[in-house]
Amino acid sequence: MKIRPKPKIICTLGTTTDDYEDLREMVRQGMNCARINTAYATLDEYKERIELLKSIADIPVMMDIKGPQVRVKADYNLRINKGDNIMLSFNKGIVHFTKDFIDDIELGDRITFENGTIDTRVIAKDKPAKKVTLKVIKPGDGNFHKDMGANVPGKYLNVERFSKKDVAVVDFTIKNNLDYIALSFTRDAEDIKKLHELISERINERINERINEGKKYRAQGKHIIKKDYEQKNFHASYDSNSSKEIGIIGKIEDQQGIDNLESILAYAKKENIKFGVMIARGDMFVELPYYKLAGYQKRIIRLCKKYNVPVITATGLLDSMTERDKPTRSEVCDVANAVLDGSDALMLSAETSNSKNPIKAVKVLSQIMREYMPEQSDYDTNATDYKTD
């Protein structure tokens, strides 16, 4: 009998993983891969965190770009209450959305923020001025702040696929010889195709830069200075099929991604792309009826198994452990079911990046995963074919 390996543990790096000893202990407790959420911080800060990690262990790094995801930018935090009207602009302004989707929304549409904790309705829009007025239905904790994620459930937003920062992160990934790029809100095979092409294009540009640099130094009778790679090693790592060396992770977060998942998987297989899928349950919980989440998770895992594509279950696995040192009963069951269903990796987000005890979160996750591995338990590992339509 073939024994399935224990799922990997992916940990999001952040302010609470910046201590050398803490990060080393997280690796010791079972962290196999690091994720960088590029919605926050700068390239310089990412580099510092990656260098710290690499001084401890040579484990893979996943750079998470935002793609078509919409966020809020603000010059200052706002306090909001139920019934308040708030005005936002698009692309620029004191409080604005990072993408322009004014043509895709109508009066009465629902827009949510901060994983659905803030709920609003569109009550007015000024297309020439690129502004929209929202009425607050649920204020959440009353704090309307920059970098919050925004969702328009049930709507296809015709927004740009990659921001300038996304492209800069792709360049950063190539330059620093990192392993994976995760694409938020992967909606269809075209999203994967465009990212694959972007990676290939930027790698080829970098190769040409290094070739030209080498010619310049040879013309001056000098040796090539080793900056990022030896020239020969750079060519060895990144040939004409170089974009396949950087893995792409498609983050499935809305109905479009779920509906198109099989065609996404088929495209990645056909093009021989190093590809994986992440079940990004945070935005999925907001975008879709909440009671369908478990069924969708099982469906996605089954499809990935059909195509022999690795699948990551993410978001909220041990959410209470951002503040507590022990998981809830439902969190234990959630992790156990993710393992039993066949997840190839589980990912911690705020549990490590913004947590009181990131080490304990990794330790607890590892303990639960070991308990429910098929070769170590008698639990039924056959997932039920749940109806999700």
Q: What is the pLDDT of residues 135-164, one digit of tens each?
A: 999 999 999 988 888 999 988 888 988 999
Report the C-alpha gap between 274 and 245 in whole angstroms: 7
Q: Is-contact 106 80, C-beta < 8 A?
A: no
Q: Is-contact 64 182, C-beta < 8 A?
A: yes
Instruction: Give residue 368's Cα distance to chain centre.
Output: 23
Residues present in the chain in total: 389
Report the C-alpha gap between 383 and 368 in whole angstroms: 18
Convert 91-125 to b/e letters by CB count within 10 Å (16 or more is b). Answer: eebebbbbbbbbeebeeebbbbbbbbebbbebeeb
Q: How confident is the model at residue 324 (pLDDT cuts 50, 70, 90)?
A: very high
Whether 183 has a pLDDT exceeding 90, the answer reads yes
Residue 243: phi, psi to the nearest 5?
-65, -20
Report the C-alpha gap between 183 and 223 in whole angstroms: 39
DSSP string, 235-254: HHHS-TTGGGGSEEEEEE-S
Q: Among residues of the chain, what percentage have pLDDT more than 90?
A: 73
> Is residue 193 helix, strand or coil?
helix
Q: How confident is the model at residue 87 (pLDDT cuts 50, 70, 90)?
A: very high
Burial of 293 (0-12, 13-18, 19+ CB in 10 A): middle
Residue 138: phi, psi to the nearest 5?
-130, 120
Read off the tokens for 109.
Answer: 């549409």
| Apex 103 CA angle, 112 and 70, nearest 5 | 40
Report the C-alpha gap between 250 and 261 in whole angstroms: 9
**Predicted pLDDT at 4:** 67
Mean pLDDT score, 316-335: 96
Q: Is-contact 53 13, C-beta < 8 A?
A: yes
> Is residue 163 helix, strand or coil?
coil
Q: What is the pLDDT of residues 197-231, one digit of tens each?
A: 999 999 988 888 778 776 666 666 655 444 444 44
Residue where the block lists tokens 């940990």:
11
Q: Are strands 70-74 and 149-151 parallel, antiparallel or unpaired?
A: antiparallel
**Predicted pLDDT at 355:** 94
Domains assigned to the chain: 8-68+161-376 (3.20.20.60), 71-151 (2.40.33.10)
Q: Is-contact 122 107, C-beta < 8 A?
A: yes
Q: How confident is the model at residue 239 (pLDDT cuts 50, 70, 90)?
A: very low
Read off the tokens for 187.
Answer: 């909606």
Report the C-alpha gap between 192 and 251 in whole angstroms: 10
Residue 224: phi, psi to the nearest 5?
-70, 130
Q: What is the pLDDT of residues 337-368, one digit of tens each?
A: 999 999 999 999 999 999 999 999 999 999 99
Q: How confident is the model at residue 2 (pLDDT cuts 50, 70, 90)?
A: low
- pTM (two decimals): 0.84
**Predicted pLDDT at 21:** 97
Q: Where is average pLDDT lowest: 2-11, 62-71, 94-103, 242-251?
A: 242-251
Burial of 330 (0-12, 13-18, 19+ CB in 10 A): exposed
Rg (CA), the chain: 22
**Predicted pLDDT at 222:** 55
Report the C-alpha gap between 222 and 225 in whole angstroms: 9
Q: How confident is the model at residue 273 (pLDDT cuts 50, 70, 90)?
A: very high
Q: Is-contact 251 185, C-beta < 8 A?
A: yes
**Predicted pLDDT at 91:** 75
**Among 304, 293, 308, 291, residue whose Cα is nearest residue 261:** 304
**Predicted pLDDT at 383:** 42
Q: Calculate the average pLDDT of the chain.
A: 88
**Predicted pLDDT at 385:** 43
Mean pLDDT score, 17-32: 97
**Among 150, 118, 126, 247, residue whose Cα is nearest residue 192:** 247
Read off the tokens for 11.
Answer: 């940990």
Read off the tokens for 277.
Answer: 């899928």
**Predicted pLDDT at 375:** 63
